[in-house]
């Protein structure tokens, strides 16, 4: 996966794939810092307890709706929709 000619690191790509399979959609993506290949993704979807069980090497859960990679400091933010 690529955004603005910067390759997404494997841990973030794995996280995005898991979230997309769980029904999330990417509503925003941008390069936060070209020099460090730092990316930002905002996804929207339904909360599920399975999100608490995500365990990917080099991915750190910052809080209830934010994940970060330890390789490039890329961020994945989740926005939950109400049913």
Q: What is the DSSP letter of 10?
A: H
Domain extent listing, the chain: 2-80
Residue 28 φ then ψ, to 5°: -160, 140
Per-residue pLDDT of the chain (83 residues; tens, 9 = 90+): 766 667 889 999 999 999 999 999 999 999 988 877 899 999 999 999 999 999 999 999 999 999 999 998 999 999 999 76
- Half-sphere exposure for 17 (CA within 13 Å, toward CB): 9
pLDDT given for residue 2 in this prediction:
62
pLDDT given for residue 83 in this prediction:
63
Within the chain, strands assigned E span: 2-3, 6-7, 25-33, 38-45, 59-63, 66-69, 75-80
């Amino acid at each position: 996966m690529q955004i603005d000619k910067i390759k997404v690191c494997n841990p973030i790509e794995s996280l995005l794939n898991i979230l997309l399979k769980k029904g999330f959609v990417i509503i925003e993506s941008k390069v936060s810092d070209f020099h460090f290949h730092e990316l930002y993704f905002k996804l929207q979807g339904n909360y599920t307890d399975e999100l608490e069980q995500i365990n990917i090497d080099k991915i750190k859960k910052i809080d209830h709706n934010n994940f970060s990679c330890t390789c490039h400091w890329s961020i994945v933010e989740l926005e939950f929709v109400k049913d």
